[in-house]
Structure 1
């Protein structure tokens, strides 16, 4: 019988972009997800992402059993905060290039919000004014393929982003993920947390892209403070789940299998 993963995507990348990763996790794991975080008017983006965590918890509560929480970037932080608040909803949590922030990190973010330079330390500044509209899928694919963020994407993942990241509007196409919402999410990045790593009651893994500039080596020591914390790496950068979806799935399967084995040993 397959177990359930609840996947949460990175900011700006609808869940369907990760279809190749989901397919590689089947049939061992059934992947659930929201189409897009931050777009439900009941849960508008607020500072420190509290409403986005509430939105995630609402959907987790509808499940029949605890899940493996897997999140990329934004999505990993949401799962981490949700697991601190509601550990009974989880079997364990895997963060795909999502940092656990140190005290210094949080102080810098708080100051950046207060003094107006948050757009310089998050991708918000690069998102402002970004192209939103395209004539057709071919034009959109050529555009994104030429951007450094997408340059190492698995071709199927790039195709999935172009297919699912755009919607029809008039005679052309427009980004499905609302750019204003994407910017709001970056600007409200949490500088507080509902708990500390040592308070986390479920297994935790932070999986870093080897060339990531988001999760840095100094974040590893926070992971080690979690009672069941692991710090792992995969080749690639911040977008490694979309650069190497099959390698990511293989690592997750091995990780969850190991955690499940330990749980059964302790329960015996």
Structure 2
């Protein structure tokens, strides 16, 4: 029986970029997703991403069964916060290179916001002034392929980003993900959460890219406080779901199959 998986993307990467990952999850999972988080005027970006969590919950409520929540970077944090607030909407959550922050992390982020150096500890500073327009798809692909962030992308994922990450703007092409929204999301990165890890009522897996500089080994400590928490790794960096989409899909299938065989917390109580 096909189960529902709700995917939430990384900041700046529309969901269609992950098409190869979605295809690799079929036919076992029906993948639902929003085209782009943070672009609905009903849920404007705000501090600690609470409106973005509300946006996600709003769409989860449209389904008729709990989902497997899978999120990359930004998306993983949104699912984690939503599951703390509304566990009945989930079967479990997999965070793909999304950190579960320690107290020390939160103190640093809060200070960075207060004293104006948040752009130095998030990608916001690198996003400012980034090129947004291109003559055609070929020029855009050459440009992104030369960037460090994209260098290890699966070729199909790079093509998907160029195809779906740009839109016509007159005679040129422009980034589909609004740059001001992307920067605002980075600057409002959460220094709070709606609950503690040990309060999470659904299984949680934090999957780290082995060479990630976003999720670090110390983030595993809080995951182990989750009653059914796991810390896993895959080869690659922060962008591993787009570098190794098929390996990512295989890990998720194994993870969810294993979770499905275990009784729920309520059943085992």
TM-score range, shorter chain: over 0.9
Give distance in 2, aligned partners of 1:91 and 1:221: 22
Deviation at 1:263, TM superposition (A): 2.7
1:76 equivalenced with 2:55 (yes/no): no
Give the match for residue 238 of structure 2: 238
Give the match for residue 215 of structure 2: 215
Q: Runs (4+) of structure 1 moved beyond 6 Å?
A: none
Backbone CA RMSD of aligned residues: 1.2
In structure 1, the residue corresponding to 2:224 is in which secondary structure? helix
Give the match for residue 55 of structure 1: 55
Give the match for residue 107 of structure 1: 107
In structure 1, the residue corresponding to 2:6 is in which secondary structure? strand
- Aligned ranges 1:24-63 → 2 under 5 Å: 24-63=24-63
Give the match for residue 18 of structure 1: 18
Give distance in 1, aligned partners of 2:67 and 2:26: 15
- Aligned ranges 1:1-268 → 2 under 5 Å: 1-263=1-263
Alignment CA distance shift 1:192-1:266 (3 Å): closer
Q: Which runs of 5 or more structure 1 residues have no equivalent in the other structure?
A: none
Give distance in 2, aligned partners of 1:180 and 1:245: 28
Give distance in 1, aligned partners of 2:216 and 2:73: 13
In structure 2, the residue corresponding to 1:95 is in which secondary structure? strand
Deviation at 1:27, TM superposition (A): 0.1
In structure 2, the residue corresponding to 1:225 is in which secondary structure? coil
In structure 1, the residue corresponding to 2:184 is in which secondary structure? helix
Q: Which runs of 5 or more structure 2 residues have no equivalent in the other structure?
A: none
In structure 2, the residue corresponding to 1:201 is in which secondary structure? coil
| 2:201–2:265 Cα contact (<8 Å) kept | no
| 2:92–2:203 Cα contact (<8 Å) kept | yes
| 2:167–2:174 Cα contact (<8 Å) kept | yes
In structure 1, the residue corresponding to 2:262 is in which secondary structure? helix
TM-score for both structures, normalised by structure 1: 0.99
Deviation at 1:32, TM superposition (A): 0.1
Deviation at 1:115, TM superposition (A): 0.2
Alignment CA distance shift 1:132-1:254 (3 Å): same
| 2:94–2:207 Cα contact (<8 Å) kept | yes
Give distance in 1, aligned partners of 2:43 and 2:224: 32
In structure 2, the residue corresponding to 1:43 is in which secondary structure? coil
Deviation at 1:167, TM superposition (A): 0.2
Deviation at 1:18, TM superposition (A): 0.1
